[in-house]
Structure 1
Amino acid sequence: MFLLIGILCQVVSGFDGSMMNGIQSLESWQDFFNHPSGGRLGTMVNGNTIGTLITIPFVPFLCDYFGRRMSVIFGCAVILVGAALQGAAQNFSMFMGARILLGVGGCIASAAAGPYVTECAYPSQRPQATAMMLASWPLGAFVAALVTWGPYNSSLQSSTWSWRIPSILQGFFPLIQFILALFAPESPRWLISKGKIEQARDFFTKYHADGDSEHLLVKVQMAEITATLEEEKAQNMSNIVKWIKSPSLRHRLFICFFVPAMLQLEGNALISYYLHIVLNNVGITDSSTQLKFNIGLTVWGLVAGVLVASVVDKFNRRTVFFTGLSSMCFCYVIWTILSLTLAQQRDFTDKGLSSGVVTMIFLYNGCNIICAAIGTPYVMEVCPYFMRAVGSTIYQLSGNIAGVFNNYVNPIAMEKITWKYYIVWCCYLVVLIVIVYFFLPETRGRDLEDVGEVFGSDVLGGRAAVKKAVGVDTETHYKEKNGFTKEHVEDQV
């Protein structure tokens, strides 16, 4: 239950994208803001991103100094203020200011949420728990689609409350996170880093060992984490210059920048924020129909997100990336061909082609979730503890810089060259597949303190500390007992 504090962190982002999609189809919103388009529309959509970019330089300090839990509490409080102001907006400036506040709070809460879930989850359940963070994105999108569609089909259709209600409800899930965080424990790794050893031991005893302080898993985790953090301190790994000088850490830094940018630059922003324009381009212009498509797309995304997150640890990380990217590329190619055929008709007489485009959008969205589900777990795994808050912040920075590009370029490109813009994404997806093949190593099956081995260096003292703590060579012990080598006691438990 307490892990929901972090798992729900993407709800705000998903809600925001779906809500902005939905309210663009509302005449009351269009009339109130004088039918924004092009750069002005891009600025309104980018308000959230602008707030994120403003906040990013301060987030690592907040997460490391005040802790993961307190950072989530503060971030959610800011989101609540932003949601209230957005719902009460009287003009463009007030609406933009509220969206910037939403970005500020969302950045702080999301940056702290990744490390919190990663560091608190039960070891064998960590990949699924962190993958569920991405599943919360379509949850937020689904709720936003419903609360946008509902007022449209009621007496509020012509009232500004048709978009004010969804704006205010953007604070609903952050309110749940805020309340849960008030009673939740802090990350045990953060506690150990601050010298609060007994509090960390109490965490592992209560939440990972069912109250047994002498449990082997408690000894293993305390020994491995303590030794690894001490070694990271000795190597001064909190210094960003260290990342630049070390080849293996440069590799990790590249991954922190590349993966979130990749997940934003897969063509997915077209349906996340500009479904209204995409559907207009294939002849589906009715507002009610567009809102229904938005609801259907978010339901499908929610189901796919939960299913993928539930089984994500059954497959290698690279396999998941390859599957998602290649299937997205296939969907985009078919989508482009169908859009070309529709463009040649010019009058959209063949409704079957329009339905084909919609089908490809749905299939593409499911394929995108396959790839996106492993993004946060993968980045959190490759970051050593003292750079995990920085890595999470870089994740936000890189993703939002890519988001700025999406939100300014996409509406202009869609209006100017329509279906031809899809060709760009077909080609770019091929480039991403090549980069993943050559630069992303496999990390599945390793705990957080041992991932450095796949990069050929870094902090490797955790395993030795485990052997000393439990008084036995764990690999030899499990080989003699079970007939096979088991690298991590955590996995066996």
Structure 2
Amino acid sequence: MPIPEWTIADFIHHGPWWRNKSILLLNLYLVLPLLSAATNGLDSSMLNGLQILPGWQDYFHTPTSKTLGLVNAANCIGALVGIPITPIFSDLVGRRMTLFMGGVIMLAGIIMQAMASTVYIFIGARIIGECGFGMAFTVNAAPLLISELAYPTQRGKLSSLFNTMWYFGSIVSAWICLGAYDRAGATVWSWRAPVLVQLVIPTLQISLIWLTPESPRYLVSKGLESQAARILAKYHSTSNDERDPLVVFEMAQIRHALKLEKEISSGTSYWTCFSTAGNRKRMTVIFAIALFSQWSGNGLVSYYINMVLNGVGITSTRTKAAINGGLQVFNLASAICGALLVDKLGRRKVFLVSNIGMLIAFSMWTLTTALFDVSQNAAAAKATVPLIFLYYFFYDFAYTPMLISYTLEILPYKIRARGFAIMNFTVYAAVAFNQFVNPWALEALGWRYYLVYCGWLVLELLFIMVYIIETRGRTLEETAALFDGEKGPQEIEEKGGEAATMTMNQLTSRTGKREKGLAEEEYFELQEGSGFHLPSTRPPSQMDSQSEESAIALSV
């Protein structure tokens, strides 16, 4: 394989990203799709807070366990209906339009939810709105837009931060419910006011989404290469020039990746996600981590904190609300920690640390819950709360930032929207199952139900050890091709490097200058960090084609 003399490490921005106006502006625009996860967290955790409020319980006549399970599962029902069709819209009309459509549907559902007069209208509104059918559109389109539009050195962190923003919404929800309880007491506005707060983010999105550029990958797939190049030139290049070597490099990789995908599989349907050996490997991993994200014991606190705290003798409404609010703040900090370390530690190590830590912490949590249940041990009850926090640190370290990020990385463009929809469908199906089963199982089995999750966490750890591969140090196109053998990633690297080299040769032939210095030195450091080593016999001026993310450390 010819070795391109110039690589992406020579063209990316060096230094803090906020000092580059183009990257700064792009990241500000990407805050808008990032808020989709905050919307999801706001609604999901809203039920936690509402169930604690006496005003909500009284207004809906203290729902039974079965009705409570239906209330909690309502959003999953709506999402499960919407998820299969959302990729069609994402691929047909674009990521931005799909996000806009989801925002409009969510607004209607939120208003209906706030005005609900019976628990069944409340359930119907949740099926339509914030975390239901409407959310299916935004949750599919927003992460796709972020991962396909972000600056090369920012993609890993931004896509990891997407799911992390869930906790931002969760924090707002928990503390709004606490504030509403303090101000409105047991009145209907103690729960209606928090519900109406959910109008803010969808309103911002449908109003401002058109300021955010469309995905260049989507535009190239539709034959709109000139538009894609203009977007890349404006937000990825410091010169705003479509002939900029970085723009040329990215466009060459996108074109070639789409060409390879077409050669491997000509069709585009849900069946395509399973039509090749590489795709089946991808979907096996995606199914697994989607299930792990919901069946690791986290669902016990996420939706039934009231029952969990009652189980260890904590019955005060205000104490429960304060613990819930504090946990969300802690979760956000833990998830951000994991998101910021995915490029330094690598994806596989992050998953391993998370699963080992969860197994240990959850086992200890099970023990303290059993001790309190059997002997009313006060010390065990006090120890349970910090153990819940410890468990969530390890859960958030990987499964909050990496669930979406890792899924999008390993999926090629042609099946990215559909494969991502399958992941979301699996998550919502697992959540729906948990929401029906968990309250009944907790009532029937008590602490013994925790033992089921202990066993499951052992199986999770074994799967992660065997099947999760490292993706650090590659572009979006190179990473997606990993499951199709060595030829795909090598060809994609070669095409990008050759295109950049030709561009630089044209420029240097006119100027007579070749300035590599610092970039070359940093490039070799990056090769070592990503596990790639150059043969000692190779002249130092020769460099292998390398990826966008191999240069991530340069701008952090």
| Shared fold, TM over 0.5 | yes
Note the alpha carbon deviations across 1:289-337, whole angstroms, 9 max, x for none: 1111111111111222222222221112111111111101111111111
2:444 corresponds to which of 400, 413, 416: 416
For the residues of structure 1 that align with 2:544 and 2:108, how far apart are their CA atoms?
53
Residue of structure 1 equivalent to 2:151? 122
Using a 3 Å threshold, how does the CA distance of structure 1 residues 54 and 489 change in structure 2: closer, same or farther?
A: closer
Contact (CA 8 Å) 1:237, 1:243: kept in 2 or not? Answer: no
1:452, 1:383 → 2: CA distance? 5
Q: Whole-Å Cα distance in 2 between the matches of residues 130 and 61 of structure 1?
A: 21
Which residue in the other structure is 1:275 paired with?
Answer: 305
Q: Does 1:399 align with 2:427?
A: yes
Q: Deviations over 1:180-218 (max 9, x none)?
A: 312211001001111111110011101111213332110
Using the alignment, how far apart are the partners of 1:219 and 1:491 within structure 2?
A: 18
Q: Work out whether 1:487 is the aligned partner of 2:514.
A: no
Structure 2: which 5+ residue stretches go unaligned? 1-27, 505-519, 524-533
CA contact (8 A) 2:95 2:215 kept: yes
Distance 2:497 2:389 in 1: 50
Kindly indicate whether the alpha-carbon contact (under 8 Å) linking 1:446 and 1:488 is maintained by their aligned counterparts in 2. yes
Match of 1:185 in 2: 213
Aligned pairs for 1:88-487 within 5 A: 88-102=115-129, 103-154=132-183, 156-210=184-238, 211-234=240-263, 235-236=265-266, 238-346=268-376, 350=378, 352-372=379-399, 373-457=401-485, 459-460=488-489, 461-471=491-501, 485=544, 487=546
Instruction: Give the equivalent residue in structure 2 for 1:56.
Output: 83
Q: When the two structures are superposed, what TM-score results if normalisation uses the length of structure 1?
A: 0.94
2:424 aligned partner, one-letter code: Q
What is the CA–CA distance in structure 1 between the aligned matches of 2:540 and 2:149, rounded to whole Å? Answer: 29
Distance in 2 between residues matched to 1:447 and 1:177, nearest whole Å: 28
SS of the counterpart of 2:84? helix
Structure exhibiting the larger radius of gyration computed from Cα positions: 2
Which whole-Å CA distance do the structure 2 matches of 1:71 and 1:432 have between them?
Answer: 34
- Once the two structures are overlaid, the 10-residue window that deviates more, 235-244 or 275-284, is 235-244
The letter for the 1-side match of 2:455 is C
The residue type equivalent to 2:220 in the other structure is: I
Cα distance in 2 for residues equivalent to 1:356 and 1:421: 19
Residue 100 of structure 2, aligned match among 73, 76, 82:
73
Deviation at 1:456, TM superposition (A): 4.1
Choose the corresponding residue for 1:4, options 20, 31, 53. 31
Paired AA for residue 343 in structure 1:
D
Q: Structure 1 segments of 4 or more deviating over 3 A?
A: 239-243, 458-461, 471-474, 477-486, 489-493
* Deviation, structure 1 residue 451: 2.0
- Match of 2:368, as an amino acid? L
Change (3 A) 1:484 1:200: closer
Provide the C-alpha distance between the structure 2 equivalents of 1:248 and 1:405, rounded to a whole number of angstroms: 29
**How far does residue 93 in structure 1 lie from its aligned partner after superposition?**
1.9
Counterpart in the other structure of 1:42? 69
| Contact 1:15 1:140 survives alignment (8 Å) | yes
Residue of structure 2 equivalent to 1:15: 42
Structure 2 CA distance for aligned equivalents of residues 489 and 388 of structure 1: 19
Q: Distance in 1 between matches of 2:84 and 2:175?
A: 35
**370-379 vs 478-487, which moves further:** 478-487
Report how many aligned residue pairs link the two structures: 487
The one-letter code matched in structure 1 to 2:246 is L
Aligned mates of 1:471, 1:334 — CA distance in 2: 56
* Matched-pair contact (CA < 8 Å) for 2:337–2:397: no
Identity %: 33
The answer as to whether partners of 1:263 and 1:399 remain within 8 angstroms in 2 is yes
| CA displacement 1:2-54 (0-9 Å, x = unmatched) | 11132222212211232111111111111111211322111000111000011
The DSSP-based 3-state class of the residue aligned with 2:213 is coil
State the secondary structure of the residue aligned to 1:24.
Answer: helix
Q: Is the 8 A contact 1:114 1:392 kept in 2?
A: no
- Specify whether residues 127 and 45 from structure 1 end up closer, same or farther in structure 2 by C-alpha distance, changes over 3 A only: same
Q: 2-side partners of 1:251 and 1:468: how far apart?
A: 30
For residues 385 and 44 of structure 2, what CA distance do their matches in structure 1 show? 18
Amino acid at match of 1:189: R
Relative to structure 1, the CA distance from residue 200 to residue 473 in structure 2 (aligned partners, 3 Å threshold; closer, same or farther) is closer
Query: Which runs of 5 or more residues in structure 1 are unaligned?
Result: none
- Is the CA contact 1:220–1:489 (under 8 Å) kept in the aligned structure 2? no
Choose 445-454 or 353-362, whichever is displaced more: 445-454
TM-score, normalisation: structure 2: 0.84
Q: 1:81-116, CA deviations, whole angstroms, 9 ceiling, x for partnerless residues?
A: 211111111112210111011211111100111211
2:355–2:395 Cα contact (<8 Å) kept: yes
